Structure 1
Amino acid sequence: MQADLLNDLGEIKANSGHLTEAQAMFRRALPLQEKTLAADDPALANTLVNLGVIGRYLSEPVGELQAYMSRAVAILEQHADSEGEALANAREGLAGIYLEQHKDAEAQVLMEQMLAYARQHAGANTRQLGLALGNLGALAYHRHHYDEARRYLTECLGVLESSYGPESAALNDCLATMSELSDALGDLPATVRYAERNELVTRAVEGDHPFRARSLAMLGEARREQGRDAESESLLLQALAMYERLGLAHDLFTTASLARLRDKAHRYADVLRLADGGLTQCAKDSTLTDCRSLTELRARAQAALARKG
């Protein structure tokens, strides 16, 4: 019973955006379940999935996260007939971890399995179908397969809008990726339009939440590209503050956007401070675009300050 209570409390904390507290609950629940449940019990897999998902947001070691998710998938595959939806969700989580390791082929296999399941059960769970389409759209976008990404994301939005309406928070991920895709294609009006919609739909999320923080940051970056610097600064500062309250200080995308804004205003001391904080997030992969940007901005700020003596 104690493990069940800890899991319930953990899910409440996670849904309200208190991820560090949620993680502590799930970590306490896991050894209790391991003592009392069978090794292939689906309830054990649920806790493992929760630890894997939250751990990604909290930037826990990828090896630890993969161990959680791989174990969950292995358990649920033994119960595929009765736990199909849970298995699809676990595969989605493991696919996300593979993406962080640049194992795109492995991730795509899992995502396509999830999509096949979701299409078979679309009448019962259109949200899962939207999630599967959105994940494949995001993967195609990151691989620079932009036409493929647009097809997946357009279907994702259509599926979710028809079920939940155009202002539902369920559209969050697809709108965010559509905004990124539009930016990559140099379509600023579309970038702004999708970022504005994403910010609007996440207003329904109560309190501090990573989804809400991301939407503020994305709209802040869109406003920066529009030259609306005051609005951009306000949004980016709100996003950074929310990330910090969530225990996710120095979010890379937000920090890089604000550093670009400070660079434009010749506020080089601020650029250095932001870059030093943001670059702590680049240890896992310094080739990320925002990591390269922060490195360049930091060097330029150092040179400018040196010239001033």
Structure 2
Amino acid sequence: MYARTLKDSAASALDASDTTEAEAVLREAGGLLAALSGRDQIESAYAHAAAAMALGNLMRPAEAEPHYVEIARLRTRLFSRDPRFFAEMSLLQVDHAQLVHGPERAVETAREAVALNREALDDKAPDTARALVALADSLLDLRQYAEAERHYRLGIERLRETLGPRHRQVGVKLSNLGLLYLRLGRFDEARRTLTEALDVLAGVYGSRHAYLLPAMTYLSWAALEAGDLGTARAMAVRATSLAEGEDVFDAYKARVQHMRGRLDCHDGMFDKAMAEFAAAKAIYAQEHEAFLGPALLGHEAACLASVGRVAEALALLPQAIDGLERGVGAEAWDTRQAKLLQATLKARVADAPH
């Protein structure tokens, strides 16, 4: 089945972030869809899947939308004929839900994908593992941390067994699990997990690739919180070097600026820290960053408080706390730290002589 081969090529290109191959797959899928004209529904569905995955790789989600819609239509019509096909296509519906409908719908779709793949394939099949970690990603977005951790741990183990311990997906999902630990203030676990993620991703992409930046900056963050300044600074230096590339996403650059600002503040370089925070804040605002934007406000407030600018710090904290509670939840480490700082500063103001 040629279209299924195309879908597999699109998946391989996505795993390798190979946009050249994605462009080639997109051209082939378009030609095949034109030739089929809807005559072979299963072949057409695989061709739509290849096109949708290629467009996702190329960061063109609006163009992928019609393909996802057609996959959903064909998937429903073909269920009784081929349950295995139905299960395979369910993973693409999870991607679509995450892109278009938000985490609540994505969780519902991912639960269905896990159940379908377990029934049609087995518990240890690669697509079942992918469904498990897709569910974990959506649960993380919904701040359902305990369940997300369970699915990450099981899904990553299954990915190791089916795709190999050095596969890109293992590194990416380890990075996401490390972020979960970072959010919850479990810094030793975050450091171990993110160190492993970096090792896997460096083996896939090389040590100088921009895709290492999220795990690298999160590791620097976790190390700083744990008091390991050597690792925090080393990761920040490496990340700064990688972020200078022309093809680096602005969102990645903002993470590096944010981390440098925190380290500058720790080292007493207040003006430099404020400049880094301002640069990162501008990018976070454009990206509508739900976690890092509010977290930065909390870190900026802490930096202001460290030099006695209490009124300015208190002015920032309500927005930081509100954003953190909505973005990562009341139990998250940064939310709790921002609330503690607010209470401490308010008490200091109340106790000050008038």
TM category, shorter? 0.7 to 0.9
Q: Which moved more, 1:150-159 or 1:215-224?
A: 150-159
2:276 equivalent to 1:235 = yes
Could you tell me how far apart the structure 1 residues matched to 2:196 and 2:100 are? 27
Residues 259/86 of structure 1: CA separation in 2 closer, same or farther (3 Å cut): farther
Q: Which runs of 5+ in 2 are unaligned?
A: 1-32, 35-47, 80-85
State whether residues 191 and 223 of structure 2, in contact with CA within 8 Å, keep that contact through their aligned partners in structure 1. no
State whether residues 126 and 162 of structure 2, in contact with CA within 8 Å, keep that contact through their aligned partners in structure 1. no
Aligned to 2:266: 225
Deviations 1:10-41 (A, max 9, x none): 65447xxxxxxx4x667776555433333626
2:331 equivalent to 1:290 = no
Aligned to 2:72: 34
Could you tell me how far apart the structure 2 residues matched to 1:143 and 1:292 are? 10
Calculate percent identity across the aligned residue pairs. Answer: 20
Q: Tell me, what secondary structure is at the counterpart of 1:37?
A: helix
Aligned to 1:19: none
State whether residues 52 and 93 of structure 1, in contact with CA within 8 Å, keep that contact through their aligned partners in structure 2. no
Please, what TM-score do these two structures have when normalized by structure 1?
0.73
Residues 265/152 of structure 1: CA separation in 2 closer, same or farther (3 Å cut): closer
User: Residue 193 of structure 1: CA displacement?
Assistant: 1.3
State whether residues 259 and 271 of structure 1, in contact with CA within 8 Å, keep that contact through their aligned partners in structure 2. yes
Of residues 111, 130, 139 in structure 1, which corresponds to 2:153? 111
Could you tell me how far apart the structure 2 residues matched to 1:272 and 1:129 are? 41
Q: Tell me, what secondary structure is at the counterpart of 2:164?
A: coil
State whether residues 217 and 253 of structure 1, in contact with CA within 8 Å, keep that contact through their aligned partners in structure 2. no
Please, what TM-score do these two structures have when normalized by structure 2?
0.65
Q: Tell me, what secondary structure is at the counterpart of 2:227?
A: coil
| Aligned residue identity for 1:51 | A
Of residues 142, 163, 173 in structure 2, which corresponds to 1:121? 163
Q: Which moved more, 1:160-169 or 1:94-103?
A: 94-103
| Aligned residue identity for 2:334 | D
Aligned to 1:274: 316
2:228 equivalent to 1:184 = no
| Aligned residue identity for 2:319 | G
Could you tell me how far apart the structure 1 residues matched to 2:313 and 2:341 are? 7
Residues 33/224 of structure 1: CA separation in 2 closer, same or farther (3 Å cut): same
Q: Which has the larger radius of gyration?
A: 2
Q: Tell me, what secondary structure is at the counterpart of 2:271?
A: helix
State whether residues 152 and 177 of structure 2, in contact with CA within 8 Å, keep that contact through their aligned partners in structure 1. no
Deviations 1:63-101 (A, max 9, x none): 3342233233344445658x9555434322322344454
| Aligned residue identity for 1:201 | L
User: Residue 245 of structure 1: CA displacement?
Assistant: 0.9
Q: Which runs of 5+ in 1 are unaligned?
A: 15-21
Higher relative contact order (CA 8 A, sep 6+): 1
**Pairing 1:201-212 to 2, within 5 Å after superposition:** 201-204=242-245, 206=247, 208-212=249-253
| Aligned residue identity for 1:196 | V
Residues 65/276 of structure 1: CA separation in 2 closer, same or farther (3 Å cut): farther
State whether residues 187 and 225 of structure 2, in contact with CA within 8 Å, keep that contact through their aligned partners in structure 1. no
